[in-house]
Chain A
Amino acid sequence: MMMTGARIVVESLVEQGVDTVFGYPGGTVLNIYDELFKNSDRIRHILTAHEQGAAHAADGYARSTGRPGVVIATSGPGATNLVTGIATAYMDSSPLVAITGNVPNHLLGKDSFQEVDITGVTMPITKHNFIVKDVARLGEVLRQAFDIACSGRPGPVLVDIPKDVTAALADWSPGAPRARTGSLFAPKLPRCLDDSEVEEAALIIKASRMPLIYAGGGVIAAGASAELTLLAERLHAPVAISLMGHGAIPSRHPLCTGMIGMHGTKASNMAVGKADLIIAIGARFSDRVVSNASRFAKGGRILHIDIDPAEINKNVAGCRYLIGDLAEILRRLLKLVAAREGSDWNGDIEDWKRVQPPSHSRARAELHPRGIMEDLHARIGDDAFITTEVGQHQMWTAQFYPFTRPRSFISSGGLGTMGFGTGASIGVQIAHPGSRVAHIAGDGSFRMNCAELATISHYRLPILIIVMNNGTLGMVRQWQRMFYEGRFAETTLDRPPDFVKLADAYGIPAWRVSDSPEFRSAVDAALASGGPALVECRIDIDEAVLPMVPSGRALEEQILEERED
């Protein structure tokens, strides 16, 4: 059937099962928006305040559902405003499809108004990208884009479409939502493992006496949480999780030792040094986990299970490995490994687990991070989604909030994008209209994209925003206090806005609280309102994230307490 490029975009989205897109209109996407307008009964468009917010929203949608998130922006600044969002999705392997307009073909390369080479700009931060100069290719490219974004290790894909292509006519008919298979350039998937490879891995596991599982975001992406938990229980093996691994196994599962790495627990960080086998599952040995690669896991060998061959031996060398779909590999391993009883190893783990990070480092404040997390969880329950920004509040959330299921903790891990969470919370809430979403932010991060309050307000998204306001860029201040003799260069945020008044300007009810009883009643009132709400928590400017491993040190050398002076 002959149709315009713009119509092909809409039909392709419908073909992919997309019912919601996030974006911001502009000159070169006028034709696409015109089609979206005509097809608003088939695809819902969420208009954000800024393209970056739209990209994070689409990312949040993708992370919380496992389905691709779609963002649309115009050429030039619209496209470059997506860049941070795309890079964020890339670092955390989130399936995002970004569609940008560009100037018409005949104006490309002439420094035309709002022209930017967005495929050039996003080359290092996309799994793949396309510029479609011929409308005849558009349908196939869009199928490929979704296929690439979702297959193997997921990631963002950008499709750039010159404006004349959206107006030109081509034949399009519905087809299989996936690109052609068997093509030389179809997404490369790992080959099926031989039984002997899995058996060898099982022998390595059987030979270990003190195994530690190190689980990352790949477990969640692969939908392998159940298999991970089964394997841990079968082996009676402790499970340390990376930041992105939160939710892969319930935080309060008896075998979960919590986060590993720079702000990891004593149990996870000690275990990694003592274990005779580390089974890394869907994790990439990031520098924030490993700290010092030459001193990481010196007690034993590493069995690395991942879908991406390039992760093997990238950051930590000498690993045995299995490459492929995690759920399938774990199911095959489960058939080969026998159940074990707990041992002295589990006793050691329990001893380390008793060493908890202090609930707070500052005696004088009356509202503490751990209390905020526990009170919040008690009120919104296990079915809620939690989004965060980046910094101290993010680490406190990871340390103290008990997650019970995959895809419930939505946070920017790899890129560490301040400003991610406000946009992401929109995407999560849109994807899960019946669930509670709490967005936990710091005052610094929240400022970055607080214009999205307009979006939250307009769509009446019942997001509960918790701003942990310590009047500083707390994580940077912590480093300045610990390593720069207290020279607080440009980290003190002693300036507007008044967050309660800001929320009010957007028609969002808000509370400012400074002790636990106030916090609890504000959260109760916010939840009872049924709409968006903001609770500003005044916390101490020098509250620290502990434990902490200074960069470059071995994980066992963590600082557990900071002296108050």
Chain B
Amino acid sequence: MDRFVLSALVQNHAGVLSRVAGLFSRRGYNIESLTVGETEDPSLSRMTIAVRGDDAILEQIQKQLEKLVEVAAVRRLDPDSSVLRELALIKVDATQESRSGVIQIADIFRARVVDVCAECLTLEITGDQNKVDSLIALLKPYGIRELARTGLSALERGPVSLPLILSLI
């Protein structure tokens, strides 16, 4: 099953998230990640939903989402013409001996050290999922204590925008 990324503009108020989440669980669609936040228009939120499935499932998900009254528009993002980003915080063991190795890896990935203590340090990384996955894999041997990932956020490249598309409907 492939991964697809959907971008949805929704009404910015309580309850929309549970409506969308409820739709996914009720119909048995697999959410990989779901992020939501306010947009340039405070009455709207953007949801970025990464899902696994085939084309038929994706078509159903998109149509079922579009049926929700509080969903204004849904668009399937083509990874090649979109910017997809995720942020992760990784707390990794870093003793006197291992610290420089961890920092070297972090540098290669342009991850930042955002917290440090005697036994460990916390890295912040932004990138697409593959990049985050690779960093995590490389840090694993050092010992990962805790991990927090935001899930994907995404926008299409170029001048196109969902609000623009909406205004043309």
Partner of A309, one of B66, B68, B70, B166: B66
CB atoms of A187 and B56 under 8 A apart? no
B32 at the binding interface (Cβ < 8 Å):
no
B79 on interface, CB distance cutoff 8 Å: no
Let me know if A124 and B26 touch, CB within 8 A: yes
Asked if A433 CB lies within 8 Å of chain B CBs, one says no
B22 proximity list for chain A (CB < 8 A): 123-124
Instruction: Pick out which of these stretches binds chain A: B11-19, B137-145, B149-157.
Output: B11-19
Of the candidates A119, A184, A187, the one whose C-beta lies within 8 Å of that of B166 is: A184
B95 on the A face (CB < 8 A): no
A310–B72 Cα distance when bound, in Å, is: 16
Q: Chain A contact residues (Cβ within 8 angstroms of B): what range?
A: 10 to 19
Size of chain B's interface in residues, with CB distance under 8 A?
A: 19
**How near does chain B come to A155, taking the closest CB pair, in angstroms?**
10
Within 8 A of A (CB), among B70-123: 70, 72
Which residues from A are CB-within-8-Å of B15?
119
Contact between B166 and A188 (Cβ–Cβ < 8 Å)? no
Among A185, A308, A313, contact of B67 (Cβ-Cβ < 8 Å): A308
B164 within 8 A of A: no
Set B19, B60, B69: member contacting A310, Cβ < 8 A: B60
Instruction: Flag if B70 contacts A185 (CB, 8 Å).
Output: yes
Interface contact B66-A188, CB-CB below 8 Å: yes
- In the complex, chain B residues whose CB is within 8 Å of the CB of A124: 22, 26
Question: CB within 8 A of B18: which of A120, A313, A314?
Answer: A120
A192 contact set on B, CB distance < 8 A: none
A-B contact count (CB 8 A): 37
Q: Within 8 Å CB of A127, what residues of B?
A: 69
Q: Which of B19, B26, B64, B72 contacts A185 (CB 8 A)?
A: B72
Q: Does B133 contact A (CB under 8 A)?
A: no
CB of A314 within 8 A of CB of B60, answer yes
| A554 proximal to B (CB < 8 A) | no
Q: Is B66's CB under 8 angstroms from A148's CB?
A: no
Q: Does A128 sit within 8 A of B, measured CB to CB?
A: yes
Say how far B146's CB is from chain A's closest CB, in angstroms. Answer: 31
Kindly state whether residue B63 has any CB partner on chain A within 8 Å. Answer: yes
Q: Chain A 145-185, CB within 8 Å of chain B: the 1/0 string?
A: 00010000000000000000000000000000000000011
Least distance between B21 CB and chain A CB atoms (Å): 10
Chain A 299-336 interface mask (CB, 8 Å, partner B; 1/0): 00000000011101110010000000000000000000
Q: Mark A364-395, 1 if CB is under 8 A from B, else 0.
A: 00000000000000000000000000000000
Q: Are A317 and B60 in contact (CB under 8 A)?
A: no
Chain A residues within an 8 Å CB radius of B69: 127-128, 148, 185, 187
In angstroms, Cα B70 to Cα A313, docked, is: 24
B residues 50-69 in Cβ contact with A at 8 Å: 56, 59-60, 63-64, 66-69
Interface positions of B (Cβ within 8 A of A): 11, 15, 18-19, 22, 26, 44, 56, 59-60, 63-64, 66-70, 72, 166
- The 10 A-B residue pairs with the shortest CB-CB distance, nearest first, are A310-B63, A128-B69, A184-B72, A309-B63, A124-B26, A310-B64, A123-B22, A310-B67, A124-B22, A185-B69
15 chain-A/chain-B pairs, Cβ below 8 angstroms: A123-B18, A123-B22, A124-B26, A128-B68, A128-B69, A148-B69, A184-B72, A184-B166, A185-B72, A188-B67, A309-B63, A310-B66, A310-B67, A312-B63, A313-B56
